């Protein structure tokens, strides 16, 4: 997030796109509602009727997978009507003339044909956002989990820069991260191409710095990028990757084309899974290492607004379970490297030494509200709003990004668009289903089907159906509802009994390598 959660309450206009905020991020959803009560205008862009649709000044019901055309359509109106921020563009950006030419093709009428959103609503939304004076964008995986996910995010950055909505409170481009510490995992180098702080593994100076900190020769550190998760599964299936260590992740349920994931895991020579439950993935493991849950260990979480927060241990872990850092440090020692870490505080001290954005962070400073990075020095207060004076690269760069069709479109054999998401009552794939209360509230999955589609298929509410894609099939109860438009079927992915990701498409975004969870083609059969 370029801004803070608290900033949402100061926004004059909020664009929520690709985010069912009240169910996936309920605290942030409350902030959005507070802003609307205060008088903020809310634009919701979502194919489904989510709770925030009822709070919205304007609800744009775009066809799944057409987000990029919609965003470019907003920019077309902003350019044509001269609603852009000329001073901001002239002093802080480059590439606007190329963008103007590119979005000229995305007229409201043309975008209406692609997205299904009426042209007059596209015009109205553009005017609302551009008029601000403080407009915030909130997005989540409904934007990123497409083959055009990277381009979608670039288009949102184009929109914010064109209207001068960066570097000030109550505005910004704000991704809502999918899990509690996923921002922290990325910050700490949990990606195949960077060290902590997003420092490239291909940079010799970066490798030299980390080698010096760890007391090893620089040539011991690989100069090559690694594989992303989906690339790892492909490599495992092909025999190029023979061992895997999975920590706190359940790809058998959470990855697309789940049957392919199982096949890949079975081909490994050796699989280690470290988790707090015996997950569906852990059942494939040669060794399961019992980790400690969040309340059973010390450490930090870095949340979606870049806030590093201190975590205090409340109870001891059960049995032989240990904190993740203790398990990893012990494995490192047994591999022959002296990983002499005695506490998470010592690990944070090393992080500060090698990670510029965390350089001013230590455990003593984190007591209380924590700190938002970048925090480059011990006396620095942290950074609630990014890009206030300049962008990291100097001038903000407009990127020309064009709409492309999803990898898989409906056809005669598979006539429906299938899309997935989350529920308020369950968290990811397994953890919340251990809660008796949550399981009583929401014990089983359903497939949301539009009433007109249900009528044409002879399906009644609550009847069982089979959803079939080119990759797999699941059986599930139908919920006949207007929440989804005609031609779209929606399911959550939390339930092993009807694993939605048996159906989803593993086609990847070419840059970020994110699978296209949000759009594939299915057929529906009444059981």
* Fold classified for 416-526: Barwin-like endoglucanases (2.40.40)
Task: Name 255's Cβ contacts closer than 8 Å, sequence gap at least 6.
Answer: 229, 230, 233, 261, 501, 506, 515
Task: Quote the pLDDT of residue 82.
Answer: 96
Pairing of strands 194-195, 199-200: antiparallel
CATH 3.40.50.2000 describes domain 5-176: no
CA dihedral 8, 10, 12, 17 (to 10 degrees): 0
Locate the domains of the chain by residue range.
5-176, 182-372, 416-526
Residues 6+ apart with CB under 8 A from 233: 251, 255, 260, 261, 264, 265
Angle, CA 46 vertex, CA 43 and CA 52 arms, to 5°: 55
pLDDT by 10-residue block (mean), the chain, 527 residues: 94 96 93 96 96 97 96 98 97 96 97 98 98 96 93 97 96 91 93 95 96 92 93 94 94 83 95 93 95 94 95 94 95 90 94 96 93 96 94 94 95 95 71 74 84 95 94 92 95 76 88 90 94
Q: Is the peptide bond before 133 cis (omega within 30 degrees of 0)?
A: yes
**Nearest residue to 88 (alpha-carbon basis) of 380, 372, 395:** 395
pLDDT of the residue at 430 = 64
pTM: 0.91
DSSP string, 218-263: GGGS--S----HHHHHHHHHTTS--EEEEES--HHHHSSSHHHHHH
Per-residue pLDDT, 120: 98
Q: What CATH number has the domain spanning 182-372?
A: 3.40.50.740
Token pair, residue 114, equals 């692609």
Residues recorded for the chain = 527
């Amino acid at each position: 997030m370029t801004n803070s959660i608290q900033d949402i309450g100061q926004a004059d206009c909020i664009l929520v796109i690709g985010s069912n905020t009240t169910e996936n991020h309920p605290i942030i959803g409350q902030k959005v509602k507070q802003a609307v009560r205060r008088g903020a205008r809310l634009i919701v862009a979502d194919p489904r009727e989510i709770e925030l649709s009822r709070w919205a000044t304007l609800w744009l019901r775009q066809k799944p997978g057409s987000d990029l055309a919609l965003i470019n359509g907003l920019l077309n109106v902003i350019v044509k009507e001269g609603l852009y921020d000329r001073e901001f563009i002239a002093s802080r950006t480059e590439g606007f003339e190329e963008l103007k030419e590119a979005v000229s093709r995305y007229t409201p009428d043309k975008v209406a044909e692609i997205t299904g959103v009426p042209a007059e609503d596209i015009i109205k939304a553009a005017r609302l956002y551009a008029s601000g004076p403080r407009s915030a964008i909130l997005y989540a995986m409904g934007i990123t989990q497409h083959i055009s996910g990277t381009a979608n995010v670039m288009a949102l950055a184009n929109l914010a820069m064109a209207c001068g909505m960066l570097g000030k409170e109550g505005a910004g481009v704000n991704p809502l991260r999918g899990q509690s510490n996923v921002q922290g995992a990325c910050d700490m180098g949990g990606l195949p191409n960077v060290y902590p702080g997003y420092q490239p593994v291909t940079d010799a100076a970066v490798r030299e710095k980390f080698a010096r900190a760890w007391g090893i020769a620089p040539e011991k550190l690989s100069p090559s990028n690694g594989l992303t998760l989906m690339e790892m599964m492909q490599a495992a299936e092909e025999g190029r990757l023979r061992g895997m260590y999975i920590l706190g992740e359940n790809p058998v349920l959470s990855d697309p084309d789940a049957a392919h994931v199982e096949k890949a895991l079975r081909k490994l020579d050796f699989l280690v899974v470290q988790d707090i439950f015996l997950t569906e993935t852990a059942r494939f493991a040669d060794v399961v290492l019992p980790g400690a849950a969040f309340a059973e260990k010390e450490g930090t979480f870095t949340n979606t607004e870049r806030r590093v927060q201190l975590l205090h241990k409340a109870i001891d872990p059960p049995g032989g379970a240990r904190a993740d850092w203790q398990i990893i440090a012990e494995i490192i020692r047994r591999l022959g490297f002296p990983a002499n870490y005695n506490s998470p505080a010592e690990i944070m001290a090393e992080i500060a030494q090698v990670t510029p954005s965390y350089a001013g962070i230590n455990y003593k400073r984190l007591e209380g509200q924590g700190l938002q990075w970048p925090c480059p020095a011990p006396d620095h207060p942290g950074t609630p709003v990014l890009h206030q004076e300049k962008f990291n690269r100097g001038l903000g760069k407009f990127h020309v990004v064009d709409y492309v069709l999803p990898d898989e479109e409906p056809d005669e054999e598979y006539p429906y668009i299938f899309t997935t998401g989350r529920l308020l009552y369950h968290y990811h794939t397994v953890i919340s289903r251990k809660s008796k209360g949550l399981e009583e509230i929401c014990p089983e999955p359903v497939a949301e089907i539009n009433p007109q589609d249900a009528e044409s298929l002879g399906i009644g509410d609550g009847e069982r159906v089979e959803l079939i894609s080119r990759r797999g099939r699941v059986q599930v109860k139908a919920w006949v509802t207007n929440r989804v438009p005609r031609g779209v079927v929606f399911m959550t992915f939390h339930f092993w009994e009807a694993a939605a990701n048996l159906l989803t498409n593993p086609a990847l975004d070419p840059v970020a390598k994110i699978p296209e969870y949000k759009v594939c083609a299915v057929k529906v059969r009444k059981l």
